Amino acid sequence: MFTTKRVPFTVVFPFAWRSVIIFLVYSIVICTLYSVLDWTFLAVPFVPVATIGTAVAFYVGFKSNSSYDRLWEARRIWGSITNASRSWGIMVLDYLSPQSAHDPAQVAELQQAKKELIYRHLAYITAIRVQLRQKPVWDLHHDVARDVVERIQAFKQCSLDKELSRFLSDSEIENLIKHPNPATILMRQQSAQLRQLRDEGYLSDFYHVDMERMLVEFYNQQGACERIKSFPFPRQYAFFSYVFTWLFIIVLPYGLLTEMAKVSGWHVWLTVPFYTVIAWVFNTMEIVGDTSENPFENSINDVPMTAICRNIEIDLRDMLGEANLPSRLQAVQNILM
Amino acid sequence: MFTTKRVPFTVVFPFAWRSVIIFLVYSIVICTLYSVLDWTFLAVPFVPVATIGTAVAFYVGFKSNSSYDRLWEARRIWGSITNASRSWGIMVLDYLSPQSAHDPAQVAELQQAKKELIYRHLAYITAIRVQLRQKPVWDLHHDVARDVVERIQAFKQCSLDKELSRFLSDSEIENLIKHPNPATILMRQQSAQLRQLRDEGYLSDFYHVDMERMLVEFYNQQGACERIKSFPFPRQYAFFSYVFTWLFIIVLPYGLLTEMAKVSGWHVWLTVPFYTVIAWVFNTMEIVGDTSENPFENSINDVPMTAICRNIEIDLRDMLGEANLPSRLQAVQNILM
Amino acid sequence: MFTTKRVPFTVVFPFAWRSVIIFLVYSIVICTLYSVLDWTFLAVPFVPVATIGTAVAFYVGFKSNSSYDRLWEARRIWGSITNASRSWGIMVLDYLSPQSAHDPAQVAELQQAKKELIYRHLAYITAIRVQLRQKPVWDLHHDVARDVVERIQAFKQCSLDKELSRFLSDSEIENLIKHPNPATILMRQQSAQLRQLRDEGYLSDFYHVDMERMLVEFYNQQGACERIKSFPFPRQYAFFSYVFTWLFIIVLPYGLLTEMAKVSGWHVWLTVPFYTVIAWVFNTMEIVGDTSENPFENSINDVPMTAICRNIEIDLRDMLGEANLPSRLQAVQNILM
Amino acid sequence: MFTTKRVPFTVVFPFAWRSVIIFLVYSIVICTLYSVLDWTFLAVPFVPVATIGTAVAFYVGFKSNSSYDRLWEARRIWGSITNASRSWGIMVLDYLSPQSAHDPAQVAELQQAKKELIYRHLAYITAIRVQLRQKPVWDLHHDVARDVVERIQAFKQCSLDKELSRFLSDSEIENLIKHPNPATILMRQQSAQLRQLRDEGYLSDFYHVDMERMLVEFYNQQGACERIKSFPFPRQYAFFSYVFTWLFIIVLPYGLLTEMAKVSGWHVWLTVPFYTVIAWVFNTMEIVGDTSENPFENSINDVPMTAICRNIEIDLRDMLGEANLPSRLQAVQNILM
Amino acid sequence: MFTTKRVPFTVVFPFAWRSVIIFLVYSIVICTLYSVLDWTFLAVPFVPVATIGTAVAFYVGFKSNSSYDRLWEARRIWGSITNASRSWGIMVLDYLSPQSAHDPAQVAELQQAKKELIYRHLAYITAIRVQLRQKPVWDLHHDVARDVVERIQAFKQCSLDKELSRFLSDSEIENLIKHPNPATILMRQQSAQLRQLRDEGYLSDFYHVDMERMLVEFYNQQGACERIKSFPFPRQYAFFSYVFTWLFIIVLPYGLLTEMAKVSGWHVWLTVPFYTVIAWVFNTMEIVGDTSENPFENSINDVPMTAICRNIEIDLRDMLGEANLPSRLQAVQNILM
């Protein structure tokens, strides 16, 4: 997530420079042919250009809207994960109770179980986060939105076992990463421990069902993230948005030429700056839609999952009464991950 | 679901070639009549054409939006089926318990019941999938989006009894396929088994109601799929989108001609490439909306139900502790079903 | 619901012929006055016409969108009724149990109660359907969307008592139809029977509350249908959509005339076909919005409630183990009700 | 709520006459200055006018959409109140039971309690309705949408204590209206009575919680109504919609003049009718948005709360088995409140 | 929240004056160069300007829509907090009961506990409110929407400990504000007290779970507010809306000049007023979107959280039977916070 109100030129530049040069060269060539070599047949009426513009407007607008919806839904889900994690915290702490509050062995065992349930939960959200960011949706050579992030050392992502080592023992991790979907298995382990606690009498059936419902809630949120990740914005819409935009950009200078030539001969050269600006504007709209589409890609427009996971960790460990809480994550180069 | 970022020409081609040829021929004929035979009366002002364009823009846009919403809702439902299936998994494994944990007969019987509840669930999602893909919504001769899929051997769909044979015994299948809606009856059987387990004391009333609520959830999701399948995008909207688009395409060249002729005589021939591009753009928008409308049609834009069912199978059988899990489905020719 | 992909001419015709004749006559008169009588002052610039067009576009688009939303919501509700009915089926069959499974009198009594609960439910959905279709929202002389349906014998709707006679005894029906809202009372009777079954020990409190929650769900769905029926698309929006469309249609030929006359004298006569097509397009958009607005009107765009009720009947009676299930309803003249 | 398909002239007139006269006078003055006094500098190109039109289109459209959403949400909430009230009815009747069905004193006491719970509920919805309609959101001198209603005697609203006297005793009412929010206190009293019934053994904990959940539901619906009432459509959007519309209306005739003058000298006078029609169209769009914004204002576009409350009363008293049910409310002068 | 129907000039002025002066100076300079110095090359055709306008229209419209959605969602959440708070009130009062109603010590202790649970809840909503308003999202020098509010003495915000002192003891506050997120800890304390009350027998497991579910609900609402606050409208959309608007405003006068010059030489000077109006209109649209984006910023478009908190306080303390209730907050200078 980008975190300043104004996007500085240094961020816009890597997205723009390549295409702006293309627009400049393309329009200069056309103007030269028209003015110097007098290829007047290059002037084409603006009407067909504007007609293609209609299709562009609809598709680019639709793509931008849908990308934003995907991004916003992803953020909502992580908001729900935060809320449900806090709720998990108070349930673990206040639902579980020893059958006899005077048996110090039971009290200690229960205290240990509570810590396990909360630490395994922190492992769980970490596992979701790493799984979501691990593998890109598309294999692309150039993806500026991702390059910008990967150039920053602080955002280097560790492998799942490294990330989990703060919350789980080595043997648990070793066993976990054999499974095809470690996050799913972590929830399964939560459920098994709840069952065991209930069998041992720490938890009545009634509390048990209520806590199991929280696990169902976590599965729902995990699944919602995986759905956004594994079902990208449908290609039939996204790809033709790209195609129509470039069709428009290719055809545009011929139409502009005509309009400029109506004013005066040398006005034709104004086609170059105006064309470059307009083409940049439409190309930017396309790129904004395109880079906002996938919110879990280790890219500049990601949902700041690492920061959210850290906040949850602070809240839950604070509830456990731990003292040395980690600090909140800060944006690096105005990017919060 | 198409799975690469760029849609290659080989996929666009079967959708486009027929109409592009029509556009070329049509506009060449008109230009010839105008230029060679001097039928100047063919030139018509652009204003009435643009006015029809307004209706086209609204209807095509509306159809595209609604189709996308249908597709996305279908994907959400299958996401929810995934989530609920995982939740079903942990409930089956951790809610059911023998009255006496020391009776090996009971433990074995319960283990068998758990496996049945999970395998019948896998049969259930398979039955929904096959029922949804079995029968097309419309009987059409040419449907490119479906042809593309049916040409691929890997996507040949077996009959319901074949598909179910991995999860159910032959006698169960035989009995099942007599019913008008096998998926509905499978859930009914789950409910009956839960009731029996509760009567036998493996399940308290409280757990029983919670698990029955999951069955209600599955009925909701199954019903939501059937609703999308059996209530196509209303024809009054979809059909007139098609009609208005073609009206626009038919009228367009006469308007373009006028604009081109204003520049110079031979510019008239530019009508042909420009017309073909614009007509292709609008026709493509119509087709994109049209082929995204029905997400359970064995077509290129289907929700990848087979892959989702496989993922659920892997997760649930992993929870059961089975060893030889099947692998995830991969896209064939960039299509994931 | 119309059920073929292409809407045939025979269906479009009754909606269109009257207005198309008006458009033809109107534009011929104007062109004659202009060309023959040389009333050149009839030519008016296109700009004010286009400005009215903006208002038309917004209002017609808004009406179409909202009508579709109403239709789609209505379909969702009936989808939910289907799902909840299936859930009702498994709950009735698996929640109710005799206190002693060995007492044949109790078993028989319970079996009878289950059948009553399911048949009364089928009566309930029938009552909702008939109540919704009984009374039109508006008293109109000509409503083509309704005429098309009423001409078909198969869609003649019986009175409520006739329709209910398949599921309830005559005395029950007689008592029922005295109440102002029979469907509401049917649910009240379900609730009373549940209470009695619970008092007789067939149902624990816990199951009782869960089943009562299903009745609450049915009330929600019934109420949602009644809301759509009794709160039509607000007139301030719907009526002005109609007014602005016709204002546009009235003013349009004068503007077209001007544009055509710019090309050549006889081009003026092209106003007639172009005007007729454009006016038909805009009028069609208005009509499509207008006829989709009310989904429970016994009209061609109705939610197919009769077919849905039949499907529910098949599913529930199949669950009861009945043998001679009715068959699914088929479309008549491509209309499914 | 206006209840006929066509809005008659008598309803449109009071909204329109003032502004139509202004439009006529304004455009006649301008045309006179231009034609008679030859102030040709009044003609201004249409382009800047059209540019302002873009802003108008967006803002007026946005306001209309949002107003409709507010109105529709308000109607949904009252639909939910209807549904929840029916559910409240069956719960009160079937959840409460005497510990001993043979003690006539208990049976009578319980019967009385049921009646109280239902009548207090009718008092509750009445209180919400009166509270919502009591105080206008804005203090305005002229508000035609409200004037139209207030002129009708049948819609005179009584004070809260008068309206409640049909359902509560005088002493209860006297105590109630001292509180800052009587409706909230009525629900509090329902909760207190449930608690008492549970303490007296008429209600198990389990039923108690389920009925308390219905009270939570009623609080949610009441709060949703209060939210719509107390948070009007944000002024930054609503006010600038009004400003931009009038800016457009003020500037429009100068642009139209130019276009008309291009045709011929006397065509200039056609500016008057065309301007008046167009200005009326845009002003009407603004007014439709403006008058639909607040659905609880005692105005013509109100949600018909009085009629809905009456329907709930009929349903609940019918459930109680009462005989002399009131009749449904009918529209007066085509308005249903 | 601004509370009058018309926004007076005094509120619009501080937002507008700076830019209006810029627009005036800019256009006067251009007109002078064109007319006096005869730099006729400054006239540029309107077509490229209009093309940029398309992008502006989409982005500004999208930003306005999304900002409104954020604002409306924020208001919904606070509506839900109100509803849930009332529900919390009746639950605290009617779920908790002494084991023996005749033991005055128990009754008094319970009464004290009820008051604590309600006062701590009031502290909770106060903590959310202060936390949300404490820190601006962006560090900006000039933000008129915030300046307008900060100039009013009545809206000076106290520090969290001051605000909480009305509801909690000093020692509690001192302990509380050490935690990284005081609101989260307050809920944790509610949960702990419920647990204790349950252990002491004032609360059955069943009521306990139902009240704990309310705490989960409060966490959900708190989290939803924090999500809106911490995830501003994505910069890629918001910033380019600003950039495109200003690109349009910069380019606009050259296009207007051309159109004006077509009429007559001195009409060129009409560019100044028309340009200023149009630029102000588009700039206003941008600003309206921009200032509505963040609903918890101590700015003029804030959700009126202070007033809502006060209303909740009145309702809950009224339920407790307290006599000297505070009065509702009134708008100051037409602003309600």
CA dist C206 and C200 (Å) reads 15
Q: Which residues of A101-130 are buried (b: 16+ CB within 10 A; e: fewer)?
A: eeeeebeeebeebbebbbbbbbbbbbbbbb
| A90/E187 Cβ within 8 A | yes
CA dist A314 and E35 (Å) reads 67
- C289: tokens are 């919005």
The 8-class DSSP code of residue E2 comes to: B
Predicted ipTM of the assembly? 0.94
Contacts of D252 in chain E (CB under 8 A): none
CA dist D177 and D160 (Å) reads 8
**Closest Cα in chain A, distance from residue E207 (Å):** 11
Instruction: Label residue C267 by pLDDT band (50, 70, 90).
Output: confident
| C90/B212 Cβ within 8 A | yes
Contacts of D51 in chain E (CB under 8 A): 53, 278
Those chains having 3 or more beta-carbon pairs within 8 angstroms of chain B are A, C
**Closest Cα in chain B, distance from residue C127 (Å):** 22
What is the chain A residue with the closest CA to B336?
A231
Extract long-range pairs of E246-251: CB within 8 Å, 24+ residues apart: E247/A277, E247/A281, E247/E52, E247/E56, E248/E49, E248/E52, E248/E53, E248/E56, E248/E282, E249/E23, E249/E279, E249/E282, E249/E283, E251/A277, E251/E44, E251/E48, E251/E49, E251/E52
Residue B145 has pLDDT above 90, yes or no: no
Instruction: Label residue C140 by pLDDT band (50, 70, 90).
Output: low
The 8-class DSSP code of residue A246 comes to: H
Q: Which of E43, E185, E231 sits opposite A75 (nearest CB)?
A: E231
Encode pLDDT of E3-26 as tens digits.
888 888 888 888 899 999 999 999
State the pLDDT at residue A144: 80
Range in B293-302, D3-12, E144-153 with the lowest mean pLDDT: E144-153
3-class secondary-structure state, position E332:
strand
CA-to-CA dists, residue A92 to A88, A192, A316, angstroms? 6, 14, 10
Residue D135 has pLDDT above 80, yes or no: no
Encode pLDDT of D293-322 as tens digits.
899 988 888 999 999 999 999 999 999 999
C282 touches chain B (CB under 8 A): yes
Contacts of C238 in chain D (CB under 8 A): 5
Residue D41 has pLDDT above 70, yes or no: yes
Q: Which of C5, C207, C277 sits opposite B138 (nearest CB)?
A: C5
**Contact by Cβ (8 Å): A258, A44:** yes
Alpha helix positions (H), chain D: 9-35, 46-95, 104-134, 144-150, 160-164, 170-176, 182-199, 205-230, 235-263, 271-292, 305-319
B vs D contact (3+ beta-carbon pairs below 8 A): no
| E41/A68 Cβ within 8 A | no
D vs A contact (3+ beta-carbon pairs below 8 A): no
| D284/C181 Cβ within 8 A | no
Window D:24-53, CB contacts with E under 8 Å: 41, 43-45, 47-48, 51-52
Tokens 């009617």 sit at which residue? E94
State the pLDDT at residue D47: 87
Contacts of C93 in chain B (CB under 8 A): 188, 191-192
Instruction: Label residue C141 by pLDDT band (50, 70, 90).
Output: low
Residue A139 has pLDDT above 80, yes or no: no
E319 touches chain D (CB under 8 A): yes
Residue A239 has pLDDT above 70, yes or no: yes
Encode pLDDT of D168-226 as tens digits.
999 999 999 999 999 999 999 999 999 999 999 999 999 999 999 999 999 999 999 99
Q: Stretch B282-299: mean pLDDT, rounded?
A: 91
Residue E237 has pLDDT above 80, yes or no: yes
Encode pLDDT of A67-94 as tens digits.
999 999 999 999 999 999 999 999 999 9
CA atoms within 13 A of residue E256's CA, in its CB half-sphere: 29
More confident residue, E145 or E193: E193
Window E:72-131, CB contacts with A under 8 Å: none
- C285: tokens are 């958009």
Q: Which of B54, B191, B238 sits opposite C90 (nearest CB)?
A: B191
CA dist A285 and A273 (Å) reads 18
C331 touches chain B (CB under 8 A): no
Please name the residues in contact with D303: beta carbons below 8 A apart, sequence gap of 6 or more.
Answer: D1, D71, D74, D75, D78, D295, D296
The 8-class DSSP code of residue B337 comes to: -
State the pLDDT at residue A262: 86
**Closest Cα in chain E, distance from residue D184 (Å):** 8
Window E:236-255, CB contacts with A under 8 Å: 236-240, 244, 247, 251
3-class secondary-structure state, position C46:
helix
For residue E84, the surrounding DSSP H or E stretch is helix E46-95
- D101: tokens are 């069905």
Size of interface A-B (CB pairs under 8 A): 153
State the pLDDT at residue C241: 94
CA dist E151 and E155 (Å) reads 8
Q: Which of D55, D58, D209 sits opposite E206 (nearest CB)?
A: D209
CA atoms within 13 A of residue A221's CA, in its CB half-sphere: 23
| C234/D68 Cβ within 8 A | yes
The 8-class DSSP code of residue B2 comes to: B
- What's chain E's Rg over C-alpha atoms? 28
Nearest alpha carbon to residue A124 among A311, A322, A309: A309
Q: Which of D140, D194, D224 sits opposite E5 (nearest CB)?
A: D140
